[in-house]
Homo-oligomer: A and B are copies of this chain.
Amino acid sequence: MSMSLAAELWPDVQPETARRLMLAGVESFAQRGYHATTTRDIATNAGMSPAALYVHFPSKAALLFAISRSGHQQALALVEQAAASAESPPAAMRAIVEQFVAWHARRHLVARVVQYELGALPEEEYAVVAGLRRDIERIVRDLLAAGVESGHFHVGDVGTAARAVLSLGIDVARWYSDRSRQSPAALGREYGELALRMLGADTTA
């Protein structure tokens, strides 16, 4: 387990012990699933005692929530910045897909936990994360609707097309590995092109 990876993944989390526990949680949850992982497994993986884990996270669910919330916040921040950085709807959509896909490839273990363990979150924590997901979906849907209005995009159903765009990125977390042929950035660029075509855009934009 790399300490520098934990710092890279969660630069805002302090102290470093908490980051180490989050990384150990990601590795354990991604490998065996949330329900089959014990707090003892996670503490052992982080080289700590279960008691030391509880200093930072009162429960296994609290640790999952920290991982899930921060992952969704990172993805939302990328999508917001990409949407704000571009002038036309196609350029903004391309930037969003490039960033969203590259994040799911580069952070595939974190993303796998973020995307596939939603159902394990307790009710209140789930509501927080669901709000972040709705924010991401809303940005993509609103941009798509704006692009349909401006004549840049041509789709049958805006909701379905928005979901398909996000699916392309999310599913990357399932299959991407460190042995994959393409870099996260290169994959993002290819998917950006595919997504624009899917939306009926002029891909020279």
What is the interface of chain A, defined by CB distance below 8 A to chain B? 31-36, 115-116, 119, 155-157, 159-161, 163-164, 167-168, 170-172, 174-175, 181-182, 187, 190-191, 193-195, 197-200
Is the CB–CB distance between A163 and B175 below 8 Å? Answer: yes
Q: List 28 A-B contacts (CB under 8 A).
A: A31-B119, A32-B33, A32-B35, A33-B33, A33-B35, A33-B36, A34-B36, A35-B36, A36-B36, A156-B190, A160-B182, A160-B187, A160-B191, A160-B194, A163-B175, A164-B191, A164-B194, A167-B167, A167-B168, A167-B171, A170-B174, A171-B174, A194-B198, A195-B198, A197-B198, A197-B199, A197-B200, A198-B198
Which 5 interchain pairs have the tightest Cβ spacing? A33-B33, A35-B36, A167-B171, A36-B36, A171-B171
A116 neighbours in B (Cβ, 8 Å)? 116, 174
Question: Complex Cα distance A15/B198, Å?
Answer: 45
- How many copies of this protein are present in the complex? 2
Question: Complex Cα distance A151/B91, Å?
Answer: 27
Question: Complex Cα distance A170/B164, Å?
Answer: 11
A123–chain B nearest beta-carbon distance, Å: 16
Dominant secondary structure at the A interface: helix
Is the CB–CB distance between B190 and A160 below 8 Å? Answer: yes
Which one, B155, B172, B182, contacts A167 given CB within 8 A? B172
A119 neighbours in B (Cβ, 8 Å)? 31
A187 neighbours in B (Cβ, 8 Å)? 160
A37–chain B nearest beta-carbon distance, Å: 8
